[in-house]
Chain A
Amino acid sequence: MIPFAKLERYEGNESLFELVLMSVVSTLVGEPLHIHAEGLRGTGKTTIMRAARGILPNITRIKGCIYNCDPERPHCPQHKNMTAPELAELGTEEIPMPFLEISHSAKVGTVAGSIDLSRLTDSTQPEARLLPGLIPQAHRGILFIDEINRLADTSPEITDILLDVMGNKPGHIQIEEAGLPVVEIPVSVSVWAASNPDEDPGPLEEIRRQLSDRFDMVCYMGRPDSVDILAQMLKENSHAYKNKRYKDSHEEDDPGNEVYRKNIVKWAGLYEQADLPDFLRNFIARLYIKHNLESIRAIEAMQQGAVLHSIIRGHDKVLINDVTDMIPLVLKHRVDGDTLIKMINDVDSRSAKDGILTFRGRKNKKSKKEDEPDYFPQNARPLKDMSRGELINTEKTLTPSDY
């Protein structure tokens, strides 16, 4: 696999790279950011997301805790009620941020949790215990679902679990196993998904609207349109080149990835401090009102995204451009194309050059005659002041027949 740092970047996939970084930074801080990459077959959605595994930073957990308990804030049934000294005694360990995948043959048991078979079949000391599934194990990390539209279509049960997990930040999950007590634990997982809206069974928002709304951002992949980039991609993927690289590098890790990892840790530190200025917050709120948006998740995501975006771009404060850049990502799956375009353009003319000087804007004003306030030039007499003969008038009596 080509390391994340070496993947070819072009206009159409740039925003996915940014989203991936933003989500990793946010996850590291403990606030999930759910992202969804949509695009045509073979445009590299899955490749980029899987390659991100190479840049994931480490997280610290209580030693041996499969729920990835944060030593500061333990949440799993086992460590939740322990005192600080008890926890200190257990010790901590560093593991890479979890990156797990839900496959299409997944069952509710493997995703949420089920009885621990190895303990149950232990010949010396059998025991009935829960084994957390993929989602609880991915706590403080990333859960990747390829072809999410297919999953939503074929496994409504898993979709329901995802709705719970992604509903709030952090979400929660309930593990049920007949005969054992129900366990409910908070999980903070960033869900990454990829899908091709053009393949069966169609785009996610047509299959499970709620699930599609749970994704904070959706990124539409474009195809590369430059010959150079394509040639470079071919080269990277050619057999000879791969072999050479394999021979050259003895270490698994690419130095470029290491740079990313360091940056992510740095950015996460910044993100913990950063906040959106009030005027931008008001700006976002006004967008919500003005364009009749439905889901509040949209503007929450806009706020979260704007801050993250400014950080990975290296700004020390959030700019209006950070917010406007988020608009298509946050809203494309939530509103129809017309509304989105109106929002983008409206926002643009406020911030950019073509405000005063275009004539087209003026031309359009003419068509807004409907609300002309002085459409009725004259005042009318009230009914009670009129004589009977004047009460009813038809088109004929009102239209002067001769001049």
Chain B
Amino acid sequence: MIGEKTNIDKAASVGNYLSLYFGQNQGVRLGESTVVSRKAHRRMPEKRIKGQIKILLNRDAGKTYLDYVDADQVVHIDTYHKPGEINPLYVARAIFYALENYFLEQNPQLQYAEDERFKMVTDYANRIFITTNGGKGTVYDLFQGIIRPFIEGEEGFDHVHVLVRLNREEYYLVYVIAEAVEEVILQSEVKLAKVRNITHGNQKQAEESFAGYIKLPWKKFKGQQARQLPAKENVNQLILKLAEKFGGVDEIEEFLDSYSTNVFKRKGIDQQKKKWGDVEHYVEQLEELGLLKDTPFGKILTRKGLSLKDFVMNHKCELETEIRRNIRRAPSGGTSRFKKMGKVEKKSQQVEFTNRNKTINNPEKNWSGDLAVPETIVQAKKNSFLRGDTRLRIQKDDLHYYEKKSYIPIDICLLIDASGSMAGDKRQAACYLAEHLLLTGKEKVAVVTFQERSSKVVVPFTRNERILRRGLSTINPAGLTPLADGIMTALNLIKDTRVRNPLLVLITDGVPNTPLWTLDAKADGLEAAGRIANSNVRFICIGVESNRYYLEKVADRAQGVLYLVDDLNKENLINIVKAEKRTMLEAKRSLA
């Protein structure tokens, strides 16, 4: 047995190694059953070798599990075990006491300063989050018996999942915690599981597979009539899934046509990818559902696939409604992360209208608005009666007037970077944003794109969904990024159209590389941004972290706001634009 004294050194040397490897963006196996890193971990079922754990380099642990905004704040300690129940309360208690003992050993003086010691341990206890298959919570909460339930499918079903917010100097505690956790597992009569190997890699965006639970009706069943309804619901759902990916009914048809036997309609996989992003997953799913099949001439639609296409064509009306309904729905991922920089100070004009359905009777306040004559007379008659007047008298507190409401219309112009790098999912996300804005708001939406050497108005300011759709479907990302040109086109569009409180939303994943006036693309971009500042247009820019330096300058010159996101996905985009609209409305309200 190794003595107590050396145990301390063990922890410290583990701490040293951890800060070395974490610095290199690596994770390690600590002992045989524990994996430690600052990233998320996953099993690797796709590999033949069992017992492997993959460290997902693109998923920071703090961001993934605790919704942190900054990376590298959290150390992720997973101790794998064989199947068995682990009570999180025991784990919490063990960690708590292990920490206390460890501090005592390190600094024996602490035994006389109980308060101080307790404060230290509680401080850490608040920074340690545990999940086991028995429940979850911070060590502090669990210690007091507050336990949140384990949810199926979450982290922790086969391991004790510990997240600790630690600074570099504190990494030695990882050893202390891991040892305590192992102790509890063994005491619970569960065996520790050996992690054979660890690998590092990126997580592929987990695509949902729907082929598993959708059942299509085009099978030869007897007495099918009885089960018509669920079958129809299934087909509907399948099409909605496809619509989520491809955009709309027309796009689904186009996609299915790429697998028709008509050579002129077929599209290669590269062409599809450019338009819709990663389609392979969907092709696989359709194959699994038996809608596509391999032939010597490539994949083609099966008979079932053809009936799906027929269904789409025959039920366009209902399907489009359902799709629009889905687009209207606010994105469920409410925890999208973005950084906001800067503030807009611009006056906005509001529209007032009278609500004839509601009258206000408030003698205290001076009324401003139309007098509601019938209500006033009824009120006067009633009050006269209650006052005991002999005849009808109208007094000030009988007056009813119609309520006035005001709202701030915000017409939005999306300025979308359509350079080559935006192809696929980012393009789809931007299109989705445009449709969502049109369907959920009462205001007009316009779309301007810039690519290669010029820019164009894809959709003029409109409330017409058909025009929007048609315009969006022409966006085909390719080429360079002429930002200045894009900004000028958008500004001219806004100037030439009668719009109210225009908001210009720039969505880009790069920096300009095609100039407009001079030879310096970036300088031209800034110059154009300067012209936004001189107009009455509000400006926000949505970009990615790596271009922060330049985009900050653009937003600053345009007197606008910069939003930085990890990923230009539709949830992020929608949430940002919504947040921006909200701030515009609130700013107005506070002025009023």
Contact = CB atoms under 8 A, between A and B. Distances in A.
Interface stretch (A248-256, A308-316, A337-345): A337-345
B221 A40 contact: no
Given A225-B314, A382-B186, A384-B179, A376 B193 contact: yes
B318 A107 contact: no
B50 A197 contact: no
Interface in B169-225: 175, 178-179, 182-183, 186, 191-200, 209-215, 219, 221-222
Contacts of B186: 382
Nearest to B234: A341
A392 B17 contact: yes
B318 A344 contact: no
Interface in A240-287: none
Interface string B214-255: 110001011000011110011011001000000000000000
A128 B31 contact: no
Interface stretch (A44-52, A68-76, A80-88, A363-371): A363-371
Interface in A185-217: 197-198, 200, 202-203, 206
Contacts of B307: none
Contact of B31 (A198, A363, A391): A391
Contacts of A352: 227
A227 interface: no
Interface stretch (B321-329, B478-486, B515-523): B321-329
A389 B178 CA distance: 17
A379 B193 contact: yes
Given A107-B357, A154-B357, A40 B318 contact: yes
Interface residues of A, number: 73
B31 A202 contact: no
Contacts of A126: 385
A382 B192 contact: yes
How many chain B residues sit at the interface, stated as a range, is 35 or more
A204 to B, nearest CB: 11
Contacts of B200: 395
Given A379-B194, A380-B194, A392-B14, A398 B29 contact: yes
Contacts of B326: 337
A165 B28 CA distance: 61
A117 B375 CA distance: 11
Contacts of A157: 358
Given A202-B328, A328-B233, A369-B45, A398 B382 contact: no
Contact of B192 (A15, A120, A338, A381): A381
A177 B194 CA distance: 74
B444 to A, nearest CB: 14
Contacts of B113: none
A391 B214 CA distance: 48
A352 B225 CA distance: 13
B227 A179 contact: no
A364 B198 contact: no
B194 A223 contact: no
B331 interface: no
B317 interface: yes
Interface string B17-44: 1100100001011111110000000010
Nearest to A365: B212
B146 interface: no
B245 to A, nearest CB: 14
Contacts of A203: 325, 328
A369 B228 CA distance: 33
Contacts of B382: 115, 120, 128, 177-179
Interface of B is mostly: mixed
B310 to A, nearest CB: 12
Given A40-B317, A128-B382, A341 B191 contact: no
Contact of A354 (B45, B157, B221, B385): B221
Contacts of B318: 40, 222-223
B275 to A, nearest CB: 24
A231 interface: no
Given A382-B31, A392-B30, A121 B193 contact: no
B31 A377 contact: no
A345 B213 contact: yes
Contact of B43 (A15, A202, A375): A375
Given A197-B325, A222-B318, A395-B200, A380 B193 contact: yes
Nearest to A206: B328
Given A105-B357, A370-B43, A377 B51 contact: yes
B91 to A, nearest CB: 15
A15 B230 CA distance: 13
B356 A105 contact: yes
A155 B357 contact: yes
A202 B233 CA distance: 21
A89 interface: no
**Max chain B Cβ within 10 angstroms of own Cβ: one of A121, A386, A391, A394:** A391
A238 interface: no
Nearest to B182: A382
A353 interface: yes
A403 B172 CA distance: 35
Contacts of B26: 394-395
B5 to A, nearest CB: 13
A388 interface: yes
Contacts of B578: none
B591 interface: no
Contact of B386 (A11, A179, A348, A374): A179
Given A340-B233, A394-B21, A381 B31 contact: yes
A108 B400 CA distance: 14
A117 B374 CA distance: 11
A356 interface: no
B50 A380 contact: no
A79 to B, nearest CB: 25
Contact of A380 (B13, B33, B197, B221): B33
Contacts of B194: 376-380
A228 interface: no
A341 B385 contact: no
A397 B395 CA distance: 92
A117 B378 contact: yes
A15 B356 CA distance: 37
B322 to A, nearest CB: 9
Contact of A379 (B10, B191, B197): B191
Interface in A316-341: 325, 328, 337-338, 340-341
B182 A383 contact: yes
A11 to B, nearest CB: 7
Given A202-B439, A206-B328, A395-B200, A375 B358 contact: no
B80 interface: yes
A107 B402 CA distance: 12
Interface string A19-55: 0000000000000000000001000000000000000
Contact of B210 (A338, A348, A373): A338
A402 interface: no
**Max chain A Cβ within 10 angstroms of own Cβ: one of B17, B21, B385:** B385
Contacts of B196: 376, 378, 398
A32 to B, nearest CB: 25
A176 to B, nearest CB: 13
B369 interface: no
A375 B233 contact: no
Given A202-B439, A341-B234, A369-B45, A363 B358 contact: no
B385 A120 contact: yes
B82 interface: yes
A223 B317 contact: yes
Nearest to B314: A225
For the complex of A and B, the 7 pairs showing the least CB-CB separation, nearest first, are A376-B193, A380-B32, A369-B45, A380-B33, A380-B194, A378-B194, A380-B192
7 contacts: A121-B381, A206-B330, A225-B314, A345-B234, A376-B80, A391-B30, A393-B28
Given A179-B386, A202-B328, 13 more contacts: A115-B378, A206-B328, A206-B440, A341-B213, A373-B83, A376-B51, A378-B51, A380-B32, A380-B80, A381-B192, A388-B13, A393-B198, A395-B197
